[in-house]
Amino acid sequence: MGLLSLFRSKSSSASLAKERLQLVIAHERTNRGSPSYLPMMKQDIVSVIRKYVEIDEDEVQVSMESDENCELLELNITLPQFGAGGTEDNGDIKG
Contacting positions for another protein (CB under 8 A)? 1-5, 8, 12-15, 17-18, 20-22, 24-25, 28-29, 32-33
Neighbours of 83 (CB within 10 A): 9
Neighbour-count burial of 49, counting CB atoms closer than 10 A to its CB (0-12 exposed, 13-18 middle, 19+ buried): middle
Closest contact distance (angstroms) between CB of 19 and another protein is: 10
Q: How far apart are CA 52 and CA 8, in angstroms?
A: 57
Among residues 18 and 50, whose Cβ is nearest to another protein? 18
Closest contact distance (angstroms) between CB of 20 and another protein is: 7
